[in-house]
Amino acid sequence: MSGMFSAARGREALRVLRSAGARGLAQRAVRAAYDRLGASELNARLDLDLIADSRRLDLRTPAQRPARGTPLTVGWICTPPAPGSGGHTTLFRMVEGMESAGHRCVLYTHDVYGGELARHARVIRDHWPAMKAEVRSVADGLGPLDAYVASGWETAHVLAAHRDLVTRRLYFIQDFEPLFYPMGSHHVLAEDTYRFGFRPIVVGPMLRDLLRDRFGVDAAVAEFGVDTDVYQLTNPDRRNGVVFYAKRDYARRGFILGALALREFHRLHPDQEIHLFGDATVKPPFPHTNHGTMRPAQLAELYNRCAAGIAMSFTNLSLVPDEMLACGVVPVAVENEYAKASMDNPAVRWVSPTGSSIAEALSDVVSGTAPAPAEVAGTIRRTPWETAKRVTREAIEDEVYGSA
C-alpha cells in the first residue's frame, strides 16, 4: 500500500513539475511543510500576557502636569522595522519632529519573536540616521516617562497591558488595522484598541472620519506629507506604460485585483509596458517588468516613465497617489466612502473595485484622455511633513501639559 501511495505522489509531483515548473513544485513542498508544522501561527503571533481588555482598563496617569515648555521624555512603541518600511518612516518622522523641538525620545521595539535588540538598533541607525532616539526593548520593561505613543494595534495592547505604568498614553494610527484580518480574534482585538481611551493622532482625514463614525473618537489629523524633493516631474513628455505596487502578502494592497486588471489591460494594450515593484518574487501571468524593491529616487525615476498607475490601499490612503501625481502619473484608485472624500484631486481616476473598472481607467489614460504630465503634477498638494510633525508634537504636548 505504501508503495502505491509513493508512486501516486511521484506521479503528482511530475504533473506539477510539468505544469508549474521547479518553482511551483518547490512552493508546494514548502506549503506542505508549512501546514504540517503549524507555521501559520507566526503570521500574527501574540503574547497573551500583553493583551488588554477595554472593559477592564484602569490606567494610571500622573497626579500633576509639568509646566508647559518643560522638555519631555516620550516613549514610542513599535514593531522592529525592516529597511525601507513606509509606516516606520512616517512614524520616525514624527519622532524627529519631537526631537527637533527639544524633547527626548525613547524607541521601544516590541518583538514577539525575540529578535536581538542590537540587530534592530543597527537597522534603525543605518536606515533612519536622522532620528537620535535611544532604542530599547519592551521585554526589558517600560520606564516611567512623561508619555508613551503606541504605533499599531499590537503596541496599543502592550501599552494598555502595562496598567501600573504612570504616564500619558497616545496612539499614532496610520491604518484601520482591523481590516488587516478576516473577521475573527485579531480583527476584534485590533478594533478594541480604539476603545482604550488613548489620545489618537491619525494620518489623513480618512481615518479621522472613520473612527468618528464607528467609535465616536475625535482624533487629531496629521496630514500626509509629500516629499517633493524626491518625487517631482522630470519628464514632461507623454509617456508609455503603467505601474503597480505589487505586494502579494499585504491584502490591503489589492494584489489579486491589480493582477486581474493588468491582465485585462495587457489584452487591450499589448504595446504598453507594465511595471511592477515592491516584491521581486511576484510573477503574474502577463508580460511585465518586475523592479523588485526600489529606493525612493529609483521609484521617482520609474514614475516619470509611466502614464498611469494603480494606487490601492484599502485601510487608508497611502503615500502612493501623491507621489505618483508629483511625478506626472495619473493614479487609478478604488473608491470607498471615506477615501474619495479625503483626497480631492481632479487628476485621480476613482473606480469601483473590479478588475475591468481599473483596466478601463488605465486604458483611458494611455489612450490620450488624461492631462499632460505637467498638468497632472501641477495638481499636487504642497503639504510638507513639517505639518504632520507639528500636529503630532502639539497633541503630545497638550496631553502632557494640558490644553494650551
CA 356 to each of CA 233, 261, 266, 352, 370: distance values in angstroms, whole numbers, following the listed order: 29, 6, 12, 9, 18
* pLDDT value at residue 13: 58
CA 28 to each of CA 22, 53, 283: distance values in angstroms, whole numbers, following the listed order: 10, 39, 16
State the Cα–Cα distance between residues 169 and 238, nearest whole angstrom: 50
Clarify whether residues 252 and 315 are in a common domain: yes
Model confidence at 106, pLDDT cuts 50, 70, 90, reads: very high
| Backbone φ and ψ of 317, nearest 5° | -60, 145
Which residue has better confidence, 87 or 43? Answer: 87
Q: For residue 2, is pLDDT > 60?
A: no
* pLDDT value at residue 27: 60
* pLDDT value at residue 233: 97
* pLDDT value at residue 86: 87
Q: For residue 342, is pLDDT > 80?
A: no
Clarify whether residues 138 and 162 are in a common domain: yes
State the Cα–Cα distance between residues 300 and 341, nearest whole angstrom: 26
- Residue 200 forms beta bridges with which residues? 171
Q: What percentage of residues in the chain have a pLDDT greater than 70? A: 89
Per-residue pLDDT tens over the stretch 119-136? 999 999 999 999 999 999
Clarify whether residues 127 and 194 are in a common domain: yes
**CATH assignment of the domain containing 360:** 3.40.50.2000
Clarify whether residues 351 and 393 are in a common domain: no
- Supply 264's cell numbers: 485585462
Give the pairing type, strands 168-173 and 199-203: parallel
Clarify whether residues 152 and 191 are in a common domain: yes
Model confidence at 39, pLDDT cuts 50, 70, 90, reads: very low
Taking each helix axis as running N to C, give the angle between helix 185-192 and helix 153-161, from 0 to 180 degrees, rounded to the nearest 10.
60
Q: Which alpha helices (DSSP H) does 132-236 contain, by range?
A: 153-161, 185-192, 205-215
Clarify whether residues 272 and 210 are in a common domain: no
Clarify whether residues 261 and 315 are in a common domain: yes
Clarify whether residues 85 and 196 are in a common domain: yes
Residue 14 lies in a domain: no
Number of domains in the chain: 2
**CATH assignment of the domain containing 147:** 3.40.50.11090
Q: For residue 10, is pLDDT > 80?
A: no
Clarify whether residues 347 and 260 are in a common domain: yes
Q: For residue 26, is pLDDT > 70?
A: no
Please choose, from the candidates 332, 320, 377, the residue with its C-alpha nearest in 3D space to the C-alpha of residue 357: 332
Q: Which alpha helices (DSSP H) does 216-273 contain, by range?
A: 255-268
Q: Could you tell me how far CA 132 lies from the centroid of its own chain?
A: 23
Q: Mark 94-107 as b/e (b = at least 16 C-beta within 10 Å).
A: bbbbbbeeebbbbb
Clarify whether residues 270 and 358 are in a common domain: yes
Averaged pLDDT for residues 353-381: 94
Clarify whether residues 64 and 178 are in a common domain: yes
Clarify whether residues 168 and 285 are in a common domain: no
- Supply 79's cell numbers: 514593531
* pLDDT value at residue 34: 43
* pLDDT value at residue 250: 86
- Residue 277 forms beta bridges with which residues? 245
State the Cα–Cα distance between residues 343 and 380, nearest whole angstrom: 11
State the Cα–Cα distance between residues 266 and 282, nearest whole angstrom: 17
Model confidence at 38, pLDDT cuts 50, 70, 90, reads: very low
Residue 110 lies in a domain: yes
Per-residue pLDDT tens over the stretch 138-191? 999 999 999 999 999 999 999 999 999 999 999 999 999 999 999 999 999 999
Strand-by-strand arrangement of the 73-78 sheet: 134-137, 104-109, 73-78, 147-150, 168-173, 199-203, 220-222
Per-residue pLDDT tens over the stretch 277-326? 999 999 999 999 999 999 999 999 999 999 999 999 999 988 999 999 99
**How much is the pTM?**
0.87
State the Cα–Cα distance between residues 156 and 170, nearest whole angstrom: 9
Please choose, from the candidates 304, 305, 300, the residue with its C-alpha nearest in 3D space to the C-alpha of residue 273: 305
- Supply 232's cell numbers: 517631482
DSSP character for 72? P
Which residue has better confidence, 74 or 10? Answer: 74
Model confidence at 3, pLDDT cuts 50, 70, 90, reads: low
State the Cα–Cα distance between residues 75 and 195, nearest whole angstrom: 21
Averaged confidence pLDDT in the chain = 91
Per-residue pLDDT tens over the stretch 223-277? 999 889 999 999 999 899 999 999 988 888 999 999 999 999 999 999 999 999 9
Structural domain boundaries enclosing 199: 48-225+386-401
